[in-house]
Structure 1
Amino acid sequence: MHALQGFLLFQILTLLGHNALGSQIIKGRKAEKKQMMYMASVQDNNGHICGGFLVSEYFVMTAAHCAPKNPTSVVLGTHNLKKVDDTMRYDVKMCKHSFNDVLSGNDIMLLKLSRKARLEGNKIIKPIKLPHPKINLKENKTCIVAGWGAIKSNGESVDELQVVDVPIINKDRCQSVWQNILPAKVICAGGYFKNKGICQGDSGGPLVCDNLAVGVVSFNNNKICDYPNVPNVYTDISKFLSWIKPILKKKKCY
């Protein structure tokens, strides 16, 4: 069992290291214009590297394993990455939680915007609400996840935001399928004997249930994106609210 767990850890970390960043959605659909106005493209100097989502006028949330790519800015207010102007781009500072690797958990990070996102009367930008600390997600509940990447395994990224429905998967079942190597503070949704979900690289995007951001895309099994044999894994935001809320309130990293 330990040998198998070690092999899975090696596979996940290797695959994440090669192409963890950028967003890829499998069997999704084009997001509607007024849908998901909280979505953010996390970028370096060369373009899109991760998904993210606006949680306040000063902060975007994403995955901690995006940090090594050194994100320098986020783009807000567009579903089409070919339609970006300077008013949509915000320089960012990383607010890191304690993090080592995805299987150790804590795969969550906040990005502080260099200037306030103007929300009053804004028809293209709107932050998403966070969950209650004791939120209970029932098995098979339909949620959504979105991103700007490939729409099939080994495919090319797309410019227009894609969104897909994914069911919540029982945590005990998820742990069993993953050979009990998952960290404690995660949510499993989609990917398990489904042809819908995330593909490797859909990092930092939100898992959204009932208009609440409940999870952050963390990892999946890269080699079988179209028909995965293990569930997709998300950081459980509700377990990190005691870290998140003081940062949002005081508008500074700790």
Structure 2
Amino acid sequence: MHAFTKFLLLQLLASLGRQAFGTEIINGKKVRKTSMLFMASVQNRGGHVCGGFLISEDFVMTAAHCDNANPVSVVLGTHNLKMINNNTMRYGIQKCKHPMYKNASLGNDIMLLKLSRKAPVRKNKLIKFVQLPSLYVKPKANQTCIVAGWGWTKTNGQTVNELLATKVAIVNLNTCQELWPKRLPANVMCAGGSDSTTGFCQGDSGGPLICGKNEAVGVVSFNYMANCDYPNAPNVYTDVSKFLPWIKRILKKKKC
């Protein structure tokens, strides 16, 4: 790894509150117990179906297409899905899907999940919420960011029990569109999957793209033909900044 690349990585990890990874999403590494404490596992009665992330004491953000799996709860406070205390870590949910959502390929792939009780952010050292991005500060092309989840580690694989994360580079949206064989929806951003061997896979949907000062700038939406054998076309995320008025309105009302 070049010295400059190492410097960029160290700067990113520092800005994430020293949220470094352990030793071994696609080509990811295990996340330390004290890192990324905003991560949520969105689950149906069969277990994990999507990722998510805590944005307030009352709401988790995820992808709208995760509703296809009929989620009924979220799990907070653990990176290991084998270690769940249902009495304290599991929360019932009310789904607030974006009103313009039809399917992921048409955009608006974002959903808020109202928790059945407040997440004990101030009392529980294993639960934190993540910052939302600024409306005006955008990640730059080639900026290094992080995506995390419990999804497949290869095409047609299986989900994992321990949270994994990997570094991905932001892809300029015009470049991303040129690399995709079909028209991308509005209000998306691209990172990873192209010119690299890292990215997300099925089961990571709804998880965050973390950039800058620990900001969740994107929501995992879709990849190219469910193919996680990178490099291929860039991965596509919902651009959180484009939905800030809708998000803040719900957070203020504390209901859909």
The 1:250–1:223 alpha-carbon spacing in structure 2 relative to 1, beyond 3 Å, is: closer
1:66-105 superposed matches below 5 A: 66-85=66-85, 86-97=87-98, 98-105=100-107
1:201 CA drift (Å)? 3.3
Unaligned runs of 5+ in 2: 1-24
Do the aligned residues in 1 keep the contact of 2:152 with 2:202 (CA within 8 Å)?
no
Which moved further from structure 2: 118-127 or 217-226?
217-226
Do the aligned residues in 1 keep the contact of 2:81 with 2:161 (CA within 8 Å)?
yes
Residue 241 (structure 2) pairs with residue 238 (structure 1)? yes
Unaligned runs of 5+ in 1: 1-24
Once the two structures are superposed, what CA deviation does each residue of 1:100-131 show, in whole Å capped at 9, x if it has no partner?
11121100000000001111132100000100
CA distance in 2, matches of 1:180, 1:198: 20
Aligned to 2:16: none
Residue 231 (structure 2) pairs with residue 228 (structure 1)? yes
1:150 CA drift (Å)? 2.2
SS in structure 1 opposite 2:105?
helix
Once the two structures are superposed, what CA deviation does each residue of 1:204-240 show, in whole Å capped at 9, x if it has no partner?
0000002000000000014531223100000000000
CA distance in 1, matches of 2:127, 2:226: 35
Which moved further from structure 2: 146-155 or 63-72?
146-155
Residue 217 (structure 2) pairs with residue 214 (structure 1)? yes
Q: CA RMSD in A?
A: 1.1
SS in structure 2 opposite 1:91?
strand
Once the two structures are superposed, what CA deviation does each residue of 1:125-171 show, in whole Å capped at 9, x if it has no partner?
00001001112211110000011122222222210000000000011
Aligned to 1:32: 32
**Percentage identity across aligned positions?**
62
Which letter maps to 2:236?
V
CA distance in 1, matches of 2:160, 2:202: 15
CA distance in 1, matches of 2:159, 2:181: 31
1:40-79 superposed matches below 5 A: 40-79=40-79
Higher relative contact order (CA 8 A, sep 6+): 1
Do the aligned residues in 2 keep the contact of 1:42 with 1:74 (CA within 8 Å)?
yes
Q: Where does structure 1 differ by over 6 angstroms across 4 or more consecutive aligned residues?
A: none
Once the two structures are superposed, what CA deviation does each residue of 1:47-88 show, in whole Å capped at 9, x if it has no partner?
111000000000000000011222110000000000000200
CA distance in 2, matches of 1:65, 1:199: 14
SS in structure 1 opposite 2:242?
helix
CA distance in 2, matches of 1:70, 1:129: 27
Which letter maps to 1:191?
G
Size of the aligned set, in residue pairs, is 229
Do the aligned residues in 1 keep the contact of 2:168 with 2:192 (CA within 8 Å)?
yes
CA distance in 1, matches of 2:60, 2:29: 24
Which letter maps to 1:42?
V
Give the TM-score, by structure 1 length. 0.87
1:186 CA drift (Å)? 0.5
Do the aligned residues in 2 keep the contact of 1:135 with 1:238 (CA within 8 Å)?
no
CA distance in 2, matches of 1:107, 1:197: 18
Aligned to 1:3: none
Do the aligned residues in 1 keep the contact of 2:152 with 2:204 (CA within 8 Å)?
no
